[in-house]
Homo-oligomer: A and B are copies of this chain.
Amino acid sequence: MALEMQRGTTVRTGGAPASAAPTTPEIDQLCINTLRLLAVDAVEKANSGHAGAPMGMAPMAYTLWTRFLKHNPSDPHWFDRDRFVLSNGHASLILYSLLHLTGYDLPLEQIKQFRQFGSETPGHPESLDTPGVELTTGPLGAGFATSLGFAIAEKTLAARFNRPGHEIINHYTYGLCSDGDMMEGVASEAASLAGRLGLGKLIFLYDDNSITIEGGTALAFTEDVGKRFEAYGWHVQHIDGEDVAAVQGALDAARAETARPSMIVARTVIGYGSPHKAGTNAIHSNALGAEEVKLTKHALDWPQEPPFYIPEDALGVFRRAVNAGRDAQADWNSRMDRYGAEFPEEAANLRQLISGKLPPGWESSLPSFSSADGAMATRKASGKVLTALMPVLQGLVGGSGDLAPSNDTFVKAYGALGNDGWDGRNIHFGVREHAMGSVLNGLALHGGLIPYGGTFLCFSDYMRPAIRLAALEQAHSIFVFTHDSIGLGEDGPTHQPIEQIASLRAMPGLRVIRPADANETVAAWKVAIESPGPSALVLTRQDVPTFDGATRAQQGVPRGAYIFSDPSGVAPQVILIGTGSELQLAVGARDLLAKEGIAARVVSMPCWELFAEQPREYRDAVFPPGAKARVSVEAGASFGWERYVGDDGAMVAIDHFGASAPGPVVLQKFGFTAENVADHARAVLRQLSPAAN
């Protein structure tokens, strides 16, 4: 395979990375086929996975990665790198191959271990498993939507920190996506938002291969995707995705278009090179089989042996990324130094944000409350926290899915990002919960920002896949869920969460925090800000009493559950456990019981996950194993509460849908009263000591 390097055809103009030295069409094909065959061999060895998409996308991936992508394989976390998003995560091998070939710390051995336990090459890309994987993808549409977060982060940080002559923040977000991505609603939400925001540095290549798992896309998908994206306000091009020059030209044009995000609709052939399976769904999610592998290698003029063969010449082209990336980052470092010399305060702030560390003493800005502040909805308290933190935490950005006035998520002293200029801190997400959740994850994964986003707790259902991805990749996203129970009132059953709290608690890797009053809300925000991963703040619409004891809340909330009050001088006979707006009912029941001489402990339990992390000693101090008389009260499903009330306890909960009526009426009708909690306590005590009654 003699290759003529001198026939350079592919020089790019306009800020081409240093890796974009000339290649020949022959070596282009060699590199592309390297990508194709690595996928074929890896899927064949695992006897599992998706080779078809990588085979078809290889020319696009090759062109993007060797001629456009600004990255440093030696430092996958370099802040000003371009972000690459493989939205169709099932094509993971194209990414793993690119990472290996361009010199990331991902040995070929890992590709041979594709889809094996403990490998760095899981079936779908997992950001925590593999260096260079920016985000976890696989659930379709998610990567596309998350990419907005990268692009928004870049654009707002650039607006805030760049200065004339100092383009410190200047990178692109490039992505590959598939028919499946385009069909998912979350991608539609995101595309519309991206169009509104004019994300000119967001560029996607759409692998339009006409094949899905069930057969031809036309079975279910005949829309004009390009026209749809034009309607969203995108810059749209149509190309032959197997043609390197066409891909290059389209990417150049996409970069030249700075006011609109770009969608390059690229016609490709799934399983390109496979004589019998190319262009069919037989190659979508199955190994090719030994015979077809043989025929494919023959068709692509590839040696049959060894498997996982990487020609030296191809490797050489890909590996140019190592030096190019090192040089690019070194250049950026020196530019950062010059920037710091000229703009020391801005540079210090930016470095602080990039570090991901919180500025020293930030927590002194947190407000505290007393009973003198009167009753206050925890959503209101949350709004006060945000207002207090915005000046001190410059990374904080966020908004709502068109419920900002209800969620109390709009901080008035700041503008709206993309509406009032790009240095705004508020984001209008529109009625797009799923995209909002995805964008939050992208903002968090980009680095430099701490994103939050609000909707009603009930509509957390719409964004559940995004919450799960945040949990899976430990994105530092903060979900603000207000209107957290039937107590929201008149909007009725469609808006009243029942099972949502339990459903979120069941998810690994997510902290669900339901504060009881203003001070617990402050502490909840502090936990969420300091958490490495995602948190869900679960907040009331309705007013709740503000309890005195800010310190108690500050110390208690981070432990998940704490003794809110104990009877004085006597041992408690019963433990009343409340969360959120129902803590007041536990307190009320305590007082009712006290009149009858029954001594009750009140436990406030804002966060199960934090409590489960406490040492056994602490947990046993809050819930002594011998103290069997326990009653929980929470205006949500009882599901799961046996964990804390035990066999002898009782739960005041709601295991059916709500009703439309004023909040206090609904709560009262469904048993959320201090008297009913006290009744349950009496019943539990009777059951435990029948003789005594």
Cβ–Cβ contact B180 & A117, under 8 A? no
Contacts of A640 in B (CB 8 A): 502, 506, 639-640, 642
Q: Is residue A83 within 8 Å, beta carbon to beta carbon, of the partner chain? A: no
Number of copies: 2
Cβ–Cβ contact A123 & B660, under 8 A? yes
Q: Is residue A296 within 8 Å, beta carbon to beta carbon, of the partner chain? A: no
Q: Is residue A520 within 8 Å, beta carbon to beta carbon, of the partner chain? A: no
Contacts of A435 in B (CB 8 A): 185
Q: Which of B492, B494, B637 contacts A506 (CB 8 A)?
A: B637
Cβ–Cβ contact A115 & B660, under 8 A? yes
Within 8 A of B (CB), among A481-537: 489-495, 498-499, 502-503, 505-509
Contacts of A406 in B (CB 8 A): 213
Tell me the complex Cα distance, A431–B226, Å: 18
Cβ–Cβ contact A117 & B49, under 8 A? no
Cβ–Cβ contact B185 & A115, under 8 A? no
Contacts of A502 in B (CB 8 A): 502-503, 506, 639-640
Q: Is residue A46 within 8 Å, beta carbon to beta carbon, of the partner chain? A: yes
Q: Is residue A345 within 8 Å, beta carbon to beta carbon, of the partner chain? A: no
Tell me the complex Cα distance, A642–B403, Å: 37
Contacts of A186 in B (CB 8 A): 185
Q: Is residue A193 within 8 Å, beta carbon to beta carbon, of the partner chain? A: yes
Q: Which of B231, B404, B431, B643 contacts A227 (CB 8 A)?
A: B231
Within 8 A of B (CB), among A11-59: 46, 48-49
Cβ–Cβ contact A432 & B184, under 8 A? yes
Cβ–Cβ contact A494 & B139, under 8 A? yes
- The stretch of A103-111, A160-168, A661-669 in contact with B is A661-669
Cβ–Cβ contact B232 & A223, under 8 A? yes
Cβ–Cβ contact B124 & A495, under 8 A? yes
Contacts of A226 in B (CB 8 A): 231
Q: Which of B187, B403, B494 contacts A138 (CB 8 A)?
A: B494
- The stretch of A329-337, A357-365, A464-472, A563-571 in contact with B is A464-472
Contacts of A404 in B (CB 8 A): 213-214
Contact with B along A417-453 (1 / 0, CB 8 A): 0010000000011111011000000000000000000
List the B residue with the shortest CB-CB distance to A491: B123
Q: Which of B192, B402, B508 contacts A499 (CB 8 A)?
A: B508
Within 8 A of B (CB), among A219-253: 219-228, 230-233
Cβ–Cβ contact A508 & B503, under 8 A? no
Cβ–Cβ contact B136 & A666, under 8 A? no
Tell me the complex Cα distance, A489–B46, Å: 12
Q: Which of B222, B431, B495 contacts A195 (CB 8 A)?
A: B222
Tell me the complex Cα distance, A669–B495, Å: 41
List the B residue with the shortest CB-CB distance to A142: B494
Q: Which of A46, A195, A432, A655 has the most CB of B within 10 A?
A: A432
Q: Is residue A122 within 8 Å, beta carbon to beta carbon, of the partner chain? A: yes
A interface SS class: loop
Q: Is residue A400 within 8 Å, beta carbon to beta carbon, of the partner chain? A: yes
Cβ–Cβ contact B219 & A89, under 8 A? no
- A62 → B minimal CB distance (Å): 25
Contacts of A431 in B (CB 8 A): 140, 179-180, 183-184, 212
- A586 → B minimal CB distance (Å): 21
Tell me the complex Cα distance, A323–B402, Å: 43
Within 8 A of B (CB), among A635-682: 637, 639-640, 642-643, 646-647, 655-657, 659-662, 665-666, 669
Q: Is residue A204 within 8 Å, beta carbon to beta carbon, of the partner chain? A: no
Q: Is residue A188 within 8 Å, beta carbon to beta carbon, of the partner chain? A: yes
- A417 → B minimal CB distance (Å): 11
- A620 → B minimal CB distance (Å): 14
Contacts of A214 in B (CB 8 A): 400, 402-405, 410, 428
Within 8 A of B (CB), among A615-647: 637, 639-640, 642-643, 646-647
Contacts of A490 in B (CB 8 A): 46, 48-49, 115, 123
List the B residue with the shortest CB-CB distance to A459: B139
Tell me the complex Cα distance, A226–B231, Å: 8
Contacts of A183 in B (CB 8 A): 189, 192, 402, 430-432
Q: Which of B48, B124, B138, B491 contacts A124 (CB 8 A)?
A: B491
Q: A49-B490, A117-B666, A185-B188 are in contact. Are A430 and B227 (CB under 8 A)?
A: no
Within 8 A of B (CB), among A137-152: 137-141
Contacts of A75 in B (CB 8 A): none
List the B residue with the shortest CB-CB distance to A46: B490
Cβ–Cβ contact B123 & A492, under 8 A? yes
Cβ–Cβ contact B196 & A669, under 8 A? no
- A54 → B minimal CB distance (Å): 16
List the B residue with the shortest CB-CB distance to A494: B138
Within 8 A of B (CB), among A263-317: none
Cβ–Cβ contact A220 & B232, under 8 A? no
List the B residue with the shortest CB-CB distance to A434: B185
Contacts of A195 in B (CB 8 A): 222-223
Contacts of A666 in B (CB 8 A): 117
Cβ–Cβ contact A223 & B227, under 8 A? no
Tell me the complex Cα distance, A639–B402, Å: 33
- A343 → B minimal CB distance (Å): 32
List the B residue with the shortest CB-CB distance to A89: B494
Q: Is residue A416 within 8 Å, beta carbon to beta carbon, of the partner chain? A: yes
Contacts of A371 in B (CB 8 A): none
Q: Is residue A548 within 8 Å, beta carbon to beta carbon, of the partner chain? A: no
Q: Is residue A257 within 8 Å, beta carbon to beta carbon, of the partner chain? A: no
Tell me the complex Cα distance, A193–B642, Å: 44
Some 26 contacts from A to B, beta carbons below 8 A apart, are: A46-B490, A115-B492, A115-B661, A116-B660, A124-B660, A137-B494, A138-B491, A138-B494, A139-B462, A185-B186, A185-B187, A185-B435, A188-B189, A195-B222, A212-B402, A213-B404, A213-B405, A214-B428, A219-B430, A225-B231, A226-B231, A459-B465, A461-B465, A499-B506, A502-B639, A503-B503
Q: Using A123-B492, A124-B491, A502-B639 as known contacts, list a sample of 5 further A-B pairs with CB atoms less than 8 Å apart, ordered by residue number in A.
A: A123-B660, A184-B189, A213-B402, A214-B405, A459-B465
The 7 A-B pairs with the shortest beta carbon distances in the complex, nearest first, are A185-B185, A220-B430, A122-B660, A188-B188, A138-B494, A117-B661, A227-B231
